[in-house]
Every structure is written in C-alpha cells, then in structure tokens.
Amino acid sequence: MTLLNCLLSAWYGLPFVSPNNILVSTINGAGAAIEVVYVVIFLVFASSRRTRLRMLGLASAVASVFATVALVSLLALHGEGRKLLCGVAATVCSICMYGSPLSIMRLVVKTKSVEYMPFLLSLAVFLCGTSWFVYGLLGRDPFVAIPNGCGSFLGAVQLILYAIYRNSGDKTGRSGKQPDAGGGDEDDDVEMASNTKGRNKVAHEIDGGASKEDRLV
C-alpha cells in the first residue's frame, strides 16, 4: 500500500498533471524507490516459495493499478480532468495507507499494551502528516491536505494511546508475577503441613506399637 501511495503521489506531482507540485513528486519518487528496495529484499530472503509468490502477486497488482491510472490520465484526459483523476487516486490510496494501523490501535486498546505500536513510528506518522497537511493548506491543494490531515489525526490518536497505555504493560507484568509468587508460598505451606502431619502419624504408630510390646512383655 505504501509503494502504491508513493507511485500515485509522485505521478500526481509531475508538472503535466499538477503544476507547481514538483516537491510532492520528488519526495514520493524517493519513497517509491526505497519501497522497491524493501520489496526486493523481502523477495530475496523470504522463507518459502508460497510467500514469494504472494508478494509477487501483490507487487503485480500495485503495478497494474498504477499503470492503469497513468495510462488513462495520459491518453484519455487533459487539464483539470487529468489532475482530478490522479488526485483522487492518490488521496484514496493515502487515506488507506494512513488507516492501515487501525488494527494495531485496536490491539493496543484491547491488550492495554503498546508493545506492537512503536513510539517513534507513531511520532513520524504524526509529524509527516502534519507537515504535508500544512503544505497542502498553504498551496490550497485538497488532494494533499485531505489525506495528510487524516494522517496527522491518526498519528495524534496513536500518540495519545501511547501516553495512556505506555505503563500498563509493566503493571500487568508485575501483577501477573505476584499471584504466582503467592501461590508458590501457599503450595510450600501446604506441602510442609502435609509432611509434618505424615511424620506425626508415623511417630504415633511407632509409639503405639512400642506400648503394645511393653504390655505383652
């Protein structure tokens, strides 16, 4: 999803699609190149053939969507129509990309632990979304401002969740250990009591046997 977002945003920022947006094209072009490197590394070190085939299928789908948008915008549309198609495609993809951590946020609320939501990543999402949101507002470009405004909001929500649940995992871990320790002490006490009772019973039987022998003598 990130690769497709970078490709569509880089295409949208080209001068013949959206004039005066070369910065959008440059940044997202670099992001697309980095994502391609990530995909290649994943394919090289994937543990199974099935995983490689699945990733190749996803990469093919991304390439197909991008090629469709690019060809339609070049061959069938001009001017504002071209900008509208590319802008809408990039906006939808950007919102989906920013919304992808929603499942992780749900997991954080459910488990009350931020183990699966790194702070630096959440901070980067917030800062990136906020900076591009401001850029879109200053340039009066809704196709830049809207998706990144959503990203800024979701990044802020992640930071709030991190602030709320950052210490919950430690408390849960400590509380989880205490019952085990207490339970172990109780088990030791029960075992000691049963051993003592067994020894007393054996001693009583020995004393009883000895007294019987004395009476017989």
Q: Where are the domains of the chain?
A: 1-92
pLDDT reported for residue 100: 83
Check: CB of residue 158 under 8 Å from CB of residue 122.
yes
Long-range contacts of 66-73 (CB under 8 A, 24+ apart): 66/4, 66/7, 66/8, 66/11, 69/8, 69/11, 70/11, 73/11, 73/17
What one-character DSSP code corresponds to residue 115? T
Cα-based angle 191, 192, 197 (whole degrees, multiple of 5): 100
Q: Is the pTM of this model over 0.75?
A: no
Report how far apart, in Å, the C-alpha atoms of 31 and of each of 129, 130, 189 are: 15, 18, 63
Predicted confidence band of residue 213 (pLDDT cuts 50, 70, 90): very low
Q: What is the dihedral of CA 114, 34, 61, 47, to 10 degrees?
A: -70
Instruction: Output the pLDDT for position 7.
Output: 94
Q: Considering the chain, what is the average pLDDT of its residues?
A: 81
The pLDDT of residue 40 is: 92
Helix (H, G, I), strand (E, B) or coil at 82: helix
The reported pLDDT for the residue numbered 200 is 54
Structural tokens at position 52: 């490689």
pLDDT tens digits, one per residue of 62-114: 999 999 999 999 998 888 999 999 999 999 999 998 888 888 888 888 988 88
Most confident of 43-47, 192-196, 207-211: 43-47
- Local confidence band at 182 (pLDDT 50, 70, 90 cut-offs): very low
Q: How confident is the model at residue 27 (pLDDT cuts 50, 70, 90)?
A: very high
